[in-house]
Structure 1
Amino acid sequence: MSPRSPREISVLVPPDLAPLYPDDPSRIGPYLVLGRLGQGSTGTVYAAVDTSSDNTGDRLVAVKGLKAPELDAPGAYAGLDQRLRNMAAADPKRVVVPLAFDTDAEPPWMSMPYLAGERLSHFVTKRGGLGIGKLVALAIGLAEGLSSLHARGVSHGSLRPSEIILESHGPHIMECAIAADSERLRGSGATWMSPERYRGGAPTTSADVFAWAAVVAFAGTGRLPFGPGEPEEIAQRVAAGSFDLDGLTKGLRPVVGRALDPNPERRPSLREVIGAVIAVWQRENGEDDTPPAPGDREEISRILEREWHAVEPPARVPEVIRLEGGGPERRRTRTLLVVGAAVVGAVLIGGGIWGVGRLLGGGADAGPVADDNDATPAEEVGVDEEVEQPPTLVARFDPAEQDEPEPGQDARSWVYTPVTREGEVPRGQGVPDHETWAAEWEEDGDPSEVVVRPDAEVLCAKFCAADDHVFLDEEGRGTWELTGNDFQDYLTWGPVVIVEITFAEDHEGDGPREVVQVTELFAD
């Protein structure tokens, strides 16, 4: 008998889908895994094929392998199963709900609709605070989504801008499957945590209202409502109710301020929140002052459809997938036709190509990077000749080391220090914080200054992200696209960062060299 011909199906996939790592699964439950969409603190998200679907446009789903410290507690899997069942009954209009799940699998997994758009954290970082229309639509949409979860007995517990997807139909709340333990959140989520959560309290509807207010304040102003600083400092301001709403639409300040009250009993309910926000919209637009019915779905839908204009994602491209075979051996040899990176429902990421030896090589080869053919042997350099600096090198930027800009300064210069490291970049060992990662690099030269061009190409791995999300290719290089202006903004407030910088070739004079490309180097 002749062998069976391969079965093939066509799937519309993201244009920049990242390939699988060698130890990634080729199948999860009934789904055929195609590539990586993203990795966070509660597991890895994959693009996968629902082979039972006859509709090419509906075959792609997002499947997440769930893994988090919270699942190590006794009875955690039974609780996870019940939580996913409750989530599945929530309204999918504003919440990313499970399509299917298996909590008995190792690891447990859940599938979700594939959504393409952008995380609120990135949207605001790049564009600044939202206008009144988008802000009102966002505030109502998030409150509506939380209300749907609460009606099913689910408190989110860790709502943050990084866990909100903005797509063509408005905001969607994600990362609901595992309620983050307060201890894990303290290091990165103090701004969004109510005082009772910071003290170790369980997720509650009132704590979600607090998080809603912090997110809305951030979205409306482009600033953290309790200011920057160490988690302990932020927590003290939170407990004291010391928030800054300057710049937030005046009509929203009363309801947002009440929701940020340190005392959970004084915070409004989500029904009150929705009614108050719709009333603000009516006053802003000179409409009928008759108070709307709390939770009026028609009014909510009208505002969202009228005001929210999310970034349209790139069109997906057709990919022919073979269904024959499977298993680890095939997974290691299969090559995707499209390479890059993307994050489910929110982050569309561009990939990059990079020589492994530039970061992973030990000794002197791991230092500042230059083309070996352009290097000049020391013995050939004359006494009066100047050694040409390399076009690309690895450097450490520490915002704490930057000087204040001088009055009238046209182009601000930034201090950096060349660095190097030995050994391979560790993978699969968890996401380090910025300081821990920077400590692995040794100084390899004297500090100097550069000017970052506003239109410089920037690929970040962690500095652009919130919490434990990282955006890496297989070489440990950042993939999330920003601009030189974004990088300069980061250098005014963020933690230390390790990046590869490429200098402009047209430098003249004695001033600082200009940087035209920045790529963050990181580990996961």
Structure 2
Amino acid sequence: MSPRSPREISVLVPPDLAPLYPDDPSRIGPYLVLGRLGQGSTGTVYAAVDTASTSSGDRLVAVKLLRSPELESPDVYPALAQRLRNLSAVDSHRVVTPLAFDADANPPWLSMPYIAGQRLSHYVTKRGGLGVGKLIALATALAEGLSALHARGVAHGSLRPSEVLLESHGPHIMECAVAADSERLRGSGATWLGPERYRGGVATPAADVFAWGAVVAFAGTGRLPFGPGEPEEISQRVASGSFSLDGLPKGLRPVVGRALDPNPDRRPSLREVIGAVIAVWQTENTEAGEVPGTDSREEIGRILEREWHGVEPPPRVPEVIRLEGRMSNHRPTRTLFLAGAVTVAAVLIGGGVWGISQLTGGGTEAGPVADDISDVPEEDPAEEEEDPGTLVVRFDPAEQEESEAGEEERAWTYTPVTREDDIPRNQGIPSHEAWAEQWEEDGDPAEAVIRPDAEVKCAKFCAAAEHVFLDEDARGTWDLTGSDFVGYLSWGPVMIVEITFAEDQEGDGPREVVKVVELFSD
């Protein structure tokens, strides 16, 4: 085999890495950008290559471009730089901290270790409340991570299940770079905001303790501690201390209840929280006859970490990155590296397909395919019509009628919709209601049954709050099943999705859906 070109390096990348948008950067600081990892309210996170690293397993990093309303004034940049310096000094593997940053860049950016895992919000949505062991491990780790942040003068300010990443070594607290403004959090984050934050107060350690209690309550029960509803309704329950901890292990209820106290002065310190949670763990293990022979915090931490060994991310895919031309102007070419050879192929990324011409940097012009163009038969217009087995529809929870059938057997009402223009891009993330209003009805309402094993690709509605998971065609990329999906149809927002009907259906009942892809805009 010929030696690899010095302008090529091997990198292990996520198997479902979403492609870059046309206006995405090809380079951020010293990093070569490969694809999108996610987009949130404070910016976009990219997978990128640290070309200075000598190990293919360590070359991949996550680089975030910071764009948010909190950064619109130049007066905040000195404070941002100080916060990033403080974050860089945090000594805790429970917090995702910067490897490097540039607060003076336009826009500012920071790089972080790439960590493959699953957000707590998705994990609980799919599996329900955590078992006692995992819950205690989560509660302890989050409290230790927040304590490490506070020791460096950093209050998180917006801790939520969507900002906790789970992997085989435990949970990690993310999204620490910008303390989100409380006004912007009221809509989607009312459950996790203490009353003082909801009223416009700044992020404080006491507010983080409240968020800790709400996250632990959700993780242990699979339900929102203050119940569903409009933000104003939830905030009123928060202010009156009207929460439910039914289903949470009894030993944890006192400390979680204190953390959710409307009065920040009555909430426990994180030192108290950690002590109380570990005491519950020791009591649980004593009753089971499995209490360890040491009270060392490090030993207890190692034991609790074992709870996460089954949370394994998908293996990364080795790819060869060609460092061609002037890297600041040319997007790198990514070629799948299989069986020890470089193969130019169509690479499936995030549900989209990149063709050979994109991989090789070829132009858009095609060579001649016929001596006489008149010999090419005209396409039958009938063949260009959309497959009748696929429709774009609106699901509105307000239009669903009560049914005695279980969620997996019941029929769900949908309305066909269409739009005359293309899906808008790069205009900010709209609300679901505003997004739904952009579509016009294109037929009469009908009913369909969604198969439990239906393939579901989410974009926003069932993804992490403030995040969007899209491919280059504005189609969802976050994987769920039909069983997961139907839960959102009873209480979630209005959704615009493409549904595909089964071809093998028998009988005359409502049509069965085998695939759902949410359409959305960023």
Do both proteins adopt the same fold according to a TM-score greater than 0.5, normalized to the shorter chain? yes
Provide the C-alpha distance between the structure 2 equivalents of 1:336 and 1:107, rounded to a whole number of angstroms. Answer: 30
Residue 388 (structure 2) aligns with? 390
2:424 paired with 1:439: no
Larger deviation, residues 393-402 vs 506-515: 506-515
Provide the C-alpha distance between the structure 2 equivalents of 1:79 and 1:95, rounded to a whole number of angstroms. Answer: 20
Residue 87 (structure 1) aligns with? 87
Larger deviation, residues 477-486 vs 298-307: 298-307
User: How far did 1:336 drift?
Assistant: 5.6
Residue 494 (structure 2) aligns with? 496
Residue 163 (structure 1) aligns with? 163
Provide the C-alpha distance between the structure 2 equivalents of 1:327 and 1:7, rounded to a whole number of angstroms. Answer: 11
After superposition, the C-alpha distances for 1:249-284 in whole angstroms (9 at most, x for unaligned) are: 111111101100000001000000001001111111
After superposition, the C-alpha distances for 1:89-146 in whole angstroms (9 at most, x for unaligned) are: 1124100000000111111110000100100000000011000000000000000000
Larger deviation, residues 14-23 vs 419-428: 14-23
Measured at CA, do residues 264 and 6 of structure 1 come closer, stay the same or move farther in structure 2, by a change above 3 Å? same
Provide the C-alpha distance between the structure 2 equivalents of 1:199 and 1:54, rounded to a whole number of angstroms. Answer: 50
Amino acid at match of 1:471: F
Q: Secondary structure at the match of 2:286?
A: coil
CA contact (8 A) 2:394 2:417 kept: yes
Provide the C-alpha distance between the structure 2 equivalents of 1:396 and 1:511, rounded to a whole number of angstroms. Answer: 20
Q: What value does the CA root-mean-square deviation take over the aligned residues?
A: 2.3
CA contact (8 A) 1:134 1:309 kept: no
Amino acid at match of 1:34: L
Measured at CA, do residues 372 and 252 of structure 1 come closer, stay the same or move farther in structure 2, by a change above 3 Å? farther
Aligned pairs for 1:356-435 (under 5 A) are 372-373=382-383, 390-406=388-404, 411-435=409-433
After superposition, the C-alpha distances for 1:396-451 in whole angstroms (9 at most, x for unaligned) are: 00112112222689811101011111111111111111110000011111111100
Provide the C-alpha distance between the structure 2 equivalents of 1:218 and 1:202, rounded to a whole number of angstroms. Answer: 24
Residue 517 (structure 1) aligns with? 515
User: How far did 1:467 drift?
Assistant: 2.2
User: How far did 1:299 drift?
Assistant: 4.5
CA contact (8 A) 1:11 1:56 kept: yes
TM-score (norm 2): 0.88
Structure 1, unmatched stretches of 5+, are: 342-349, 355-370, 377-388
Measured at CA, do residues 325 and 304 of structure 1 come closer, stay the same or move farther in structure 2, by a change above 3 Å? farther
CA contact (8 A) 2:119 2:164 kept: yes
Provide the C-alpha distance between the structure 1 equivalents of 2:190 and 2:407, rounded to a whole number of angstroms. Answer: 35
Where relative contact order (Cα < 8 A, 6+ residues apart) is larger, the structure is: 1
User: How far did 1:211 drift?
Assistant: 0.2
Show structure 1 runs of 4+ deviating over 6 A: none
Provide the C-alpha distance between the structure 2 equivalents of 1:296 and 1:474, rounded to a whole number of angstroms. Answer: 50
Q: Secondary structure at the match of 1:58?
A: coil
Measured at CA, do residues 141 and 410 of structure 1 come closer, stay the same or move farther in structure 2, by a change above 3 Å? closer
Residue 98 (structure 1) aligns with? 98
Provide the C-alpha distance between the structure 2 equivalents of 1:336 and 1:122, rounded to a whole number of angstroms. Answer: 31
2:216 paired with 1:206: no
CA contact (8 A) 1:17 1:340 kept: no
Residue 364 (structure 2) aligns with? none
CA contact (8 A) 1:501 1:515 kept: yes
Q: Secondary structure at the match of 2:218?
A: helix
User: How far did 1:310 drift?
Assistant: 4.6
Measured at CA, do residues 187 and 145 of structure 1 come closer, stay the same or move farther in structure 2, by a change above 3 Å? same
Measured at CA, do residues 413 and 196 of structure 1 come closer, stay the same or move farther in structure 2, by a change above 3 Å? same
Larger deviation, residues 462-471 vs 216-225: 462-471
Residue 186 (structure 2) aligns with? 186
Provide the C-alpha distance between the structure 1 equivalents of 2:224 and 2:318, rounded to a whole number of angstroms. Answer: 41
Measured at CA, do residues 463 and 391 of structure 1 come closer, stay the same or move farther in structure 2, by a change above 3 Å? same
2:219 paired with 1:219: yes
Measured at CA, do residues 339 and 47 of structure 1 come closer, stay the same or move farther in structure 2, by a change above 3 Å? farther
After superposition, the C-alpha distances for 1:471-514 in whole angstroms (9 at most, x for unaligned) are: 00010100001000111111111011000000111233331110
Residue 122 (structure 2) aligns with? 122
User: How far did 1:372 drift?
Assistant: 4.1
Residue 17 (structure 1) aligns with? 17
2:39 paired with 1:29: no
Measured at CA, do residues 258 and 453 of structure 1 come closer, stay the same or move farther in structure 2, by a change above 3 Å? same
Larger deviation, residues 191-200 vs 22-31: 22-31
After superposition, the C-alpha distances for 1:15-38 in whole angstroms (9 at most, x for unaligned) are: 222222111111111111111111
Structure 2, unmatched stretches of 5+, are: 337-345, 355-380
Aligned pairs for 1:109-508 (under 5 A) are 109-286=109-286, 297-327=297-327, 329-331=329-331, 334=333, 337=336, 339=347, 350-352=350-352, 372-373=382-383, 390-406=388-404, 411-508=409-506
User: How far did 1:315 drift?
Assistant: 1.5
Provide the C-alpha distance between the structure 1 equivalents of 2:406 and 2:458, rounded to a whole number of angstroms. Answer: 30
Provide the C-alpha distance between the structure 1 equivalents of 2:348 and 2:201, rounded to a whole number of angstroms. Answer: 40
Aligned length: 480
CA contact (8 A) 2:321 2:333 kept: no
After superposition, the C-alpha distances for 1:316-365 in whole angstroms (9 at most, x for unaligned) are: 1221122242346522x846647566xxxxxxxx42469xxxxxxxxxxx
CA contact (8 A) 2:18 2:470 kept: no
CA contact (8 A) 1:18 1:340 kept: no
Measured at CA, do residues 239 and 512 of structure 1 come closer, stay the same or move farther in structure 2, by a change above 3 Å? same
Measured at CA, do residues 175 and 103 of structure 1 come closer, stay the same or move farther in structure 2, by a change above 3 Å? same
